[in-house]
Structure 1
Amino acid sequence: MTSVTFAGVRKTYGDAVALAGLDLAIEPGEFVALLGPSGSGKTTTLNLLAGLIDADDGEIRIGGRVVNDVTPDRRDIAMVFQNYALYPHLTVFENLEFPLRARDRRVAATVVEAKVDRVAGTLGLGDLLHRYPKELSGGQQQRVALGRAMIREPKVFLLDEPLSNLDARLRIRMRRDIKALHEAIGSTIVYVTHDQAEAMTLATRIAVFAEGRLQQFASPAEIYARPANLFVAGFLGEREPVLMAGRIETGDGLAFVAPDGRLALDAAAARHLAPFAGRPVVLCIRAEALRPSRGTDGADGAVVAQVELSGPDAILYCRLDGGAEVVARADPADGFAKGDRIGLTADAARLTAFDPTTGAALRAGE
């Protein structure tokens, strides 16, 4: 298991800053996802680590060794691309053995066969070794690509959007396979994706990028529950959260009051949001943070504008009395329907307040 470190790493293309002073420390054996939209810097980070491009400034280390001037073939890494890059004229066995033969043509056939059999067994490819890539499904081709990387026993695996060419259900199945593979081999994996569901389910920690800068580096649970800024809050989540500007106000109970709506806050708000009472904030409101109830005669009322069934949940698109639109999650058995007048109470433990000027998260006691 090997660590990976970026210290003040910078990459520009003319006046365009692809990566601005990246500081990132990946522990040995970690599965780290680099997450962000197109142009955020995540692929630049992976290519710098692979040695495919050179850093303008800063230091990159693999296992404590500075690799800025080390060629890709000497960095002891393996890269898996989104298009698999299998040799179509070679069988699965030949594709798997290729990295071993390319490194040392004198390696004994018995050694090659033993390594291929071991990797094929780990990935469930034992019965497919005689087939050609065109005879495999997308998921099987992906496993061959992973196996070709594994057989070299590299210090670090680099995966660049490896599941983007698969259909939705197969992606879910392959996520389980990749997670199980990481648990089995324990190697350091750096995984680039724009799909936050992949990052949340696979990674031990997620590095969120935007505009060439690292926004937050933390566990999936912390990234989701305690986003560092408005970008992270808006980017993570199955559904885009509502970001609403207003104030936390006291009086007849604690409430969040915006020009176009009002939300009553529960008792937990005394600890989470009361410290920010009276000041302007931007509130991140996710669907699971709102609890709908039947009927209301208070100022926290809303009307259900649309109901969407999402598996075990009913997603309620609601319009507050002031006109703002929010989204709440409910049990389908509750029977909420379009046009229903409902009450909404916000679970303050699931809300995050942000400074409207800087966009940084506001934390009680900090």
Structure 2
Amino acid sequence: MSGNRINTRYIKVDQAHPEADAIAEAGLILRGGGLVAFPTETVYGLGADATNGLAVARIFEAKGRPPDNPIIVHVAFRSQLNALAASISAAAEILMDAFWPGPLTIILPAGTGVPEAVTAGLTTVAVRMPDHPVALALIKAAGVPVAAPSANLSGKPSPTRAEHVVQDLDGRIDAILDGGPAGVGVESTVLDLTSQVPIILRPGGITPEELRACLGRVEVDRDAISGYCDGESPRSPGMKYTHYAPRAPLLLVTGSQPAVASKILEMARVEAGGGRRAGILTYSDSSDYSTVGEVVVAGRRDKPETVAAGLYSALRRFNEMGVDIIFAEGLEEKGVGLAVMNRLKKAAGGRIIKV
């Protein structure tokens, strides 16, 4: 990022009925090559005109994003796919009927007019239609598809509120549309439809079970389960690099709940004995860790969708607490729990303890 600080406009909008003047202003910024952060049903996105390679390049600069990490393109109408995809399969049509607008990104063969900055040099393009009134109104006002990764500094926890965007990107982007908190809380599911068998490259708000109910056989990429891509070029946004990480190192502890609790209590006591403050990411039905560290409850273990909604705010809360190390309890990797564990594994950067 250059040393020149931008005067970032902060625009408050009604989530259910976004004001036309505010949306028009933000759309004008996008059409002029600017960057606008906006809410979706998953997290806040950082938008640029997807047809303008120079504008998309500004996203990478503002976020400090690696250039080989492709960006999802957001549309408000299916007709916008005509300028993005070389072809649209029957499976894609089935999924769009079932899940759009919604937290599902599909990977299609890229059209010739898609800037390389969007695809990161791949022959495919990732597209979705967000299920949020502000996001849809903004795309319509801009009159172009909008390329938008999460609106955070690269590698940090994704933003689910406008204040999170301010913390990371104030002075780096042109405007922030504050439409209230995001709902799902983790990014969209990314499904590759260019392979012989549809494959989930990133778990998200649409579960493998829901996709299989529509398409039959759907596989989950091994890197999506492990939380890390060991290939040279990621095939989907958010695959290759450490992501979602708070400032303090995070250790993910997996296994039976009693064994996990015992291990975290043991490790937190050791940290306290050494004068270090431990943060503990836990759930409403877990053990009491209050005597050994700073506790943040992300949601309910039996309702992983509540954990997804609270996960990134919880990780940012540890930044505010200034803890030295974080211990996080694992979840069952089923349904939305698969997406939560994918994010926790990435936040841990390989620091996983199985008990």
TM category, shorter: under 0.3
Larger Rg computed on CA atoms: 1
With CA pairs under 8 Å and 6+ residues apart, which has the higher RCO, 1 or 2?
2
- TM (normalized to structure 2)? 0.26
- TM (normalized to structure 1)? 0.26
Higher strand share: 1
